[in-house]
Chain A
Amino acid sequence: MLSESSSFLKGVVLGSIFCALITMLGHVRIGHGSKMHHHEHHHLQAPNKEDILKISEDERMELSKSFRVYCIILVKPKDVGLWAAVKETWTKHCDKAEFFSSENVKVFESINMETDDMWLMMRKAYKYAFDKYRDQYNWFFLARPTTFAIIENLKYFLLKKDPSQPFYLGHTVKSGDLEYVSVEGGIVLSIESMKRLNHLLSIPEKCPEQGGMIWKISEDKQLAVCLKYAGVFAENAEDSEGKDVFNTKSVGLFIKEAMANHPNLVVEGCCSDMAVTFNGLTPNQMHVMMYGVYRLRAFGHIFNDALVFLPPNGSDND
């Protein structure tokens, strides 16, 4: 009996050591995936109004038309309520929006990714989008159907950013050494980043389909690891006051937290005036957001927007 229990214990110890070793190795691999030097937290700012006004009227017109945003929304059959809301609301403001589903759903048209795995879905969607639309769009926005996005604010944010540079932005999170854009806040890639990504997708050593060694790594982290190999780094998008422009929480949650943490400055302390995304909304809340963002107006308050991005025809929520 004694010898058995001792060998059992020895087994436990050995198993733990083995597991710890593997975790360390796995971490080391992710952390030092690229040969680049260590980066600090990257922040990217929205353009200044003064800068915009310096550009001539005609140039501004040209500028507002030069942004073509293609929206990728990754859905699963269980998301069908949110899918319907998203389809009816903000995605109509993308220059083009397509839904990539894990499997075919009768009620809605979608592009079938034929897989349940989020990372595989993401890879296939990016590849599809790049292959088909590389010449037609210069910015690619990926979101889940729990996210609400204001595409015009996205375009404003990207105004002075050159899409032939490798941009990868959104709401960033740091995990150990890895800084990645959280998928819940929406992921923005420039055409250059798409190019580099798609090149890497075909190299399994750099961009494996089976990311984690033992346990699964979330798809947004895997994307970051992959992009790092190509020298594309995540950047956190902020407005001129340092507030996040891409949000992984809903307005309701922000207000709730603001009321608890700083009740003196609820609205001012809460969210950016030029927020691009919020996450965690119900389908009904999406409709209310559309109304609040695009239709409801307080009479007598005139906002002098330096630039206007007109949504495509048929986006009848405004």
Chain B
Amino acid sequence: MSEIHFREMAPKSWLNFLTFLCGSAIGFVLCSQLFSILLEEQVDTQPNILHNDPHARHSDDNGQNHLEGQMNFNADASQHKDENTDVAENLYQKVKILCWVMTGPQNLEKKAKHVKATWAQRCNKVLFMSSEENKDFPAVGLKTREGRDQLYWKTIKAFQYVHDHYLEDADWFMKADDDTYVILDNLRWLLSKYNPEEPIYFGRRFKPFVKQGYMSGGAGYVLSKEALKRFVDAFKTDKCTHSSSIEDLALGRCMEIVNVEAGDSRDPTGKETFHPFVPEHHLIKSYLPRTFWYWNYNYYPTVE
């Protein structure tokens, strides 16, 4: 204990005592703070709950997702010892699907890479379509510019490329974006009931503007071999226009012109199988407001 000199004047000793008390209180508090910091081992730093903002799809995420190097999800490795994939394997052989993914030079590392590491591995053949060639990725160069207004032109050129190089390698030809996820097994199940020599195509059917409806671009769509032949032929013979700023609508119009049927892709209970938005939007009731355009576009009635 410190010494209190009683020989000092009385007020001064009180002052000393007070400062002493102050000091000890402050020392105590500082020390306790220090200890509580040292002893805190809550390592979990993930209280920032990740929000899935659908409108940010086409814009950039934070740069952290920019991955270097090859990625291998090993998604279909033999980790499931109790899994019987005979039926799926059988369909893989019977229903051959060529997937082409609409992408661009700036999205190869950000988005297309992840498509390549995951679902695209289940396609019988996959091609990445960009405005410029990239031999390393690899991506096909369509020799166009980039941008939303170029989408239809890119689509035409992409289908042309597929037709010229891979027509006999597949029965069905699927177009997807680099932010689309496709469950190939379920696609094969749908298509297994149809003949690829028939002129037909599937996707999320929208009703406006085209009599038989057209397929939403965002949800992805798949053409039969015959449909692909007719589509490519339509440009050679000028039946369809080359220019449009609305890719899916233009394609839908062309399909109608060349008598390719807009198919019904719903499951046996009437539920849709192609989805233009992320799962949350479709799973959560009233996520999308009743006034949203989407509800008026759907060709078929909504089943909940």
Of the stretches A68-76, A149-157, A262-270, the one at the interface is A262-270
**DSSP majority for the A interface?**
helix
Residue of B at shortest CB range from A175? Answer: B41
Closest CB in chain A relative to B179 CB, distance in Å: 16
Q: Which of B28, B49, B51, B74 contacts A15 (CB 8 A)?
A: B28
Of the stretches B180-188, B246-254, B255-263, the one at the interface is B180-188
Give A18 to B47 CA distance when docked, in angstroms.
Answer: 35
Give A273 to B75 CA distance when docked, in angstroms.
Answer: 12
Closest CB in chain B relative to A124 CB, distance in Å: 24
Residues A298 and B79 in contact in the complex (CB < 8 Å), given A15-B23, A16-B27: no
Residue of A at shortest CB range from B26? Answer: A12
Q: Which of A5, A252, A304 contacts B84 (CB 8 A)?
A: A304
The tally of residues in B whose CB lies under 8 Å from a CB in A reads: 67
Residues A12 and B24 in contact in the complex (CB < 8 Å), given A249-B46, A287-B280: yes
Residues of A within 8 A of B73 (CB): 266-268
Pairwise interchain contact A284-B280, C-beta atoms closer than 8 A: yes
Pairwise interchain contact A15-B280, C-beta atoms closer than 8 A: no
Residues of B within 8 A of A250 (CB): 46, 49-50
Residues of B within 8 A of A280 (CB): 46-47, 49
Pairwise interchain contact B80-A266, C-beta atoms closer than 8 A: no
Residues of B within 8 A of A55 (CB): none
Residues A49 and B82 in contact in the complex (CB < 8 Å), given A18-B28, A263-B67, A267-B73: yes
Residues A7 and B19 in contact in the complex (CB < 8 Å), given A15-B27, A263-B67, A266-B71: yes
Residues of B within 8 A of A292 (CB): 279
The tally of residues in A whose CB lies under 8 Å from a CB in B reads: 60
Pairwise interchain contact A301-B27, C-beta atoms closer than 8 A: no
Pairwise interchain contact A300-B21, C-beta atoms closer than 8 A: no
A219-264 contacts to B, CB under 8 A, are: 248-250, 252-253, 256, 259-260, 263-264
Give A36 to B71 CA distance when docked, in angstroms.
Answer: 48
Check if A45 is an interface residue, CB within 8 A of chain B.
no
B13-55 contacts to A, CB under 8 A, are: 15-17, 19-32, 35-36, 39, 41, 44, 46-47, 49-52
Closest CB in chain A relative to B274 CB, distance in Å: 14
Of the stretches B87-95, B169-177, B207-215, B219-227, the one at the interface is B87-95
Check if B301 is an interface residue, CB within 8 A of chain A.
no
Residues A284 and B52 in contact in the complex (CB < 8 Å), given A303-B83, A304-B84: yes
Check if A8 is an interface residue, CB within 8 A of chain B.
yes
Pairwise interchain contact B83-A301, C-beta atoms closer than 8 A: yes
The 0/1 profile, CB within 8 Å of B marked 1, for residues 135-152 of chain A is 000000000000000000
Q: Which of B19, B72, B279, B280 contacts A4 (CB 8 A)?
A: B19
Pairwise interchain contact A268-B71, C-beta atoms closer than 8 A: no
Closest CB in chain B relative to A121 CB, distance in Å: 19
Give A263 to B71 CA distance when docked, in angstroms.
Answer: 5
Binding site for B on A (CB under 8 A): 3-16, 18-20, 23, 49, 173, 175-176, 184, 214-215, 248-250, 252-253, 256, 259-260, 263-268, 273, 280-282, 284-285, 287-288, 291-292, 296-306
